[in-house]
Amino acid sequence: MQYLIGEFSRLTGLSIHTLRYYENERLITPKRNSGNRRCYSDEDIIWIEFIKRLKNTGMPIKQIQHYAKLRAMGESTMNERRKILINHRETLKNQIEQLQEHMKKLNDKIEFYDKQIENPLNKPKNKN
């Protein structure tokens, strides 16, 4: 199916301005119809969803641009694209571990306060 930019914007949840920016940054390359209007496909929707996922997981725009460039070059770049995703996955894994440690420390502090509130006669070990 083919979509003009307004409909594509609604389908992807991205503003027309953002879609034009993505095109300008060479993240997407919509086809043009006979009237020279941008035409997007279902495949473009899938690609936009992947770009959004990369962005939402913290991949820098320059790296997404590099990935998009490799994607446009075709199957011969699959190994390099795979390596980019493996490296990004490792970065995410490290971030998740850090967040889990932060969560543990917050839970410990909340538990401390819960105990103090339940039994105010306990002398606090610290004032944090």
> What's the pLDDT tens digit per position in 84-100?
999 999 999 999 999 99
The enclosing H or E element of 67 equals helix 61-73
pTM: 0.79
At 10-35, the pLDDT tens digits run 999 999 999 999 999 999 999 999 99
d(CA 124, CA 57): 39
